[in-house]
A and B are shown apart, each in its own frame.
Chain A
Amino acid sequence: MFKLDNTRQIFGQALAEYGAENKKVVVLTADVSSSVMTTFFAQKNPERFFNVGIAEAGMIDTAVGLALSGMVPFASTFAALLLRAAEQVRTCVAYANTNVKIVGSFAGLSDAKDGATHHSIMDLAVFRAMPHMTVIVPSDSIEARKMIPLIAEHEGPVYIRISRAEMPIIFDESHKVAIGRGITVRDGSDVTIIANGHLLSRALEAADQLGSKGIKARVVNMPTVKPLDMPLLRKCARETGAVVTAEEHSIIGGLGSAVAESISGEIPVPVKRVGVADKFTESSKDLDPLLDKYGMAVADIARAAQEAMKLK
C-alpha cells in the first residue's frame, strides 16, 4: 500500500511559494479558494490574487487580459465547472494562444461525496481537442508540485488537473518531471499499462496481481496527456504488443483515446481503455469505492491487460 498525502494542499502551498519568487504569477479563483487552496497564494501574495466570484467564464477572460500584458495567470476552480468556460477557453485561450494556466481542481471523481454534478469526467476530452493546449494530469503530489514552475515557464495555454482526494505517494524528491514526457515506473514485456493521476497506483497494484499469474506488465506514468510522449508510446507498443490505459475520466476523449488515436496509425496493437464507461457517476463517501464501482478497480485494469494480451 502507498502512503497518502493531500495533493491540493501541497499544490496550493507550492503555488504560493513559487508565486512569491515569480512576480509575474497571478491567481484567479471563482469563490472556491478555500476548497482549491489558493488561499495560500492569497495570503502570501494578496496583491496578485483575484477572487472573481461565481463567474467561471468571466474568470477565464480576465485571466486572458492579464496574460496579454505579460502576467502569468493561474485560473483555478472545480474542473467540472470549467466546462462553463469552454468557449472562453477555446476562443480566448487556445485559439488566441494566450499564456493562461487553467487549474481544474476537484478533478475526476475526487469530489466523491458531491456526486455527478461535481465529478469531472470529460474535461480532458474537451480541453485536449483544442489546438495549442497542453494537458497535464499529475500522478501524485510530488509530480503536481514539480509541474508548477514548468507550466508557469512554458509559453502557452496549459490545463492541469488537481485531485481533491488524498493521493498515493508514488515518487520521491529525485523524480524528474518534464512536460510531454512519460516514464516507465515498472518494467515488463507482456503488456503496457499506461496510467496517470489516481489510477497510477492502481495500475501498479494491477501489475502486482498480474505478476502473480506470471504476466509481466509494464507500467508507464503518462502525466502529459497532450502532447503525448510518442517515442515512449511507440517503444512500449513495439516491445509489449498490447496496451491498457487507466484514468479517472470517461473512456471517451481522455488518455485512453489519446493513446489509441496515436498508436493506431503507427503501431496498431490492441488497446483496452479503463475509465468511466460513458455514464454519469453518483455520490460516495469515499473515492476508492466509487472508482471500484465505475470500472476503475484494480481488477478491471488487470482484466483489461489480459484481454489486450489475448488480442495480440
Chain B
Amino acid sequence: MVAKTGYAPELIKELEDMARQLRIDVVEMTHCRGQGHPGGSLSPAEIMSVLFFHHLQLDPKRPQWENRDRFILSKGHACAILYAALARRGFLPFAELETWGCIGSRLQGHPDRQKTPGVEMTTGCLGHGINIGAGLCLAAKLKGLDHYTYVLLGDGELQAGVLWEGAMLAAKYKLSRLIAIVDCNGVQLDGTTEEIMPMEPLKSKWQSFGWAVLEINGHSVPEVLAALDKARANGNKPKVIIAHTVKGKGVSFMEGKAAWHGRGINDEEYRQAMEELKQNV
C-alpha cells in the first residue's frame, strides 16, 4: 500500500469534496437523462477528482496546448463523470451537462473527441485505450514533448485481448510516461468479473507484461495522490495503478450491483441517492 503522508489536509479535503460533488453530478445527470452508466461512473470519483483538480497539467483556455497531459477515458461508458469534471474544470459550461445524450448535444452517450472540448479521444468500445495511449507516448518522444499520458480502464475491460497487444508494445518501447489506472470495481455488465471472466492475479499479469504496478484503495484520496506522484517518477517501464473501488460507490442501493452498470435513475431512486450523497458534503 502507498503511504498516506505528505499531502496538506486542506488539499485532501478539497479533493474529497470534489469527488462527492462529481458523484452528485453523475446522479443528477443520469436522473435528468433517464439513461447512462451510473455504477462505473461513481466508482472512479476520487481518481477523477485527483486527476482533473490536482494532478493533470491542463489548460481549459488552451485545450489543444501541445504539451498538456493526455487523459483517455478508455472505459468510455463512464463519460458522465468525465463530462462533469470537464465542466467543473472550465472546459464546458456547466448548464450543458443537462443536454447529455440529447439530439444536437456536444455530449454524446459515449465520448466524442470531435464534439466535446477536453475529450482527447472518442471511446466507448472497450479495449482501445492502452494502444492509443502508447501511440500518444511514441509521438511525444518523437516530438521531444515531456507530457504524461493517462488511461483510465475498467477491470472488465481488461478481458479485451487487444488491450494486451498495447501492454506488450508499451513495454517494448519503454513508454515510462504512460500511466494506466484500472478502476477495479469487480463488476461488469453481466455480473462480477470473477463470474464472467476471472482476471486475477492482476498484479502479476501486468508485471509479467513488463509494467510497474502500484496497488491502492481507489477511494482514498491520499493513496490516489501518492500513487499518481509515484507513477510520474522516472523509470523505464510503463506504470499501472490497480485501484480497488466499489461499483456505484456512495449510493447504497447501487454499490456492487451489476444491475447498475447501465440504467437510468428514476425519481424515487434519485431522491434516495441524493439524500445519501449530500449527507457528507
Contact = CB atoms under 8 A, between A and B. Distances in A.
Interface of A: 26, 47-48, 50, 52-53, 55, 57-71, 73, 87-88, 91-92, 95-97
B131 A65 contact: yes
B162 A65 contact: no
Given A62-B135, A69-B139, A97-B114, 18 more contacts: A26-B138, A55-B165, A58-B131, A58-B165, A58-B166, A58-B169, A59-B165, A61-B128, A61-B132, A61-B135, A63-B135, A64-B128, A64-B132, A67-B135, A68-B121, A68-B139, A70-B139, A88-B128
5 contacts: A26-B139, A53-B169, A55-B162, A58-B165, A69-B140
A304 to B, nearest CB: 40
Interface of A, secondary structure class, is helix
Contacts of B135: 61-69, 73
Interface string B26-61: 000000000000000000000000000000000000
B133 interface: yes
Contacts of A70: 139, 143
User: What are the nearest 5 A-B pairs in CB distance?
Assistant: A65-B135, A58-B165, A61-B131, A69-B139, A55-B165
Which interface class (under 10, 10 to 19, 20 to 34, 35 or more) fits B? 20 to 34
Contacts of B173: 50
Interface string B131-171: 11111111110110100000000000000001001101100
Given A55-B168, A62-B169, A68 B136 contact: yes
A62 B172 CA distance: 13
B245 interface: no
B167 to A, nearest CB: 9
Contacts of B120: 68
B79 to A, nearest CB: 14
A67 B138 CA distance: 10
B122 interface: yes
B125 A65 contact: no
Interface of B, secondary structure class, is helix
Contacts of B165: 52-53, 55, 57-59
A63 B169 CA distance: 12
Interface string B85-114: 000000000000000000000000000111
A47 B124 contact: no
Contacts of A26: 138-139, 142
Contacts of A59: 131, 165
A104 B112 CA distance: 27
Contact of B125 (A55, A63, A91): A91
Contacts of B137: 65
A218 B136 CA distance: 48
A53 B173 CA distance: 12
A92 B162 contact: no
A92 B173 CA distance: 22
Contacts of A58: 131, 162, 165-166, 169
Contact of B169 (A48, A52, A60, A67): A52
A106 B121 CA distance: 31
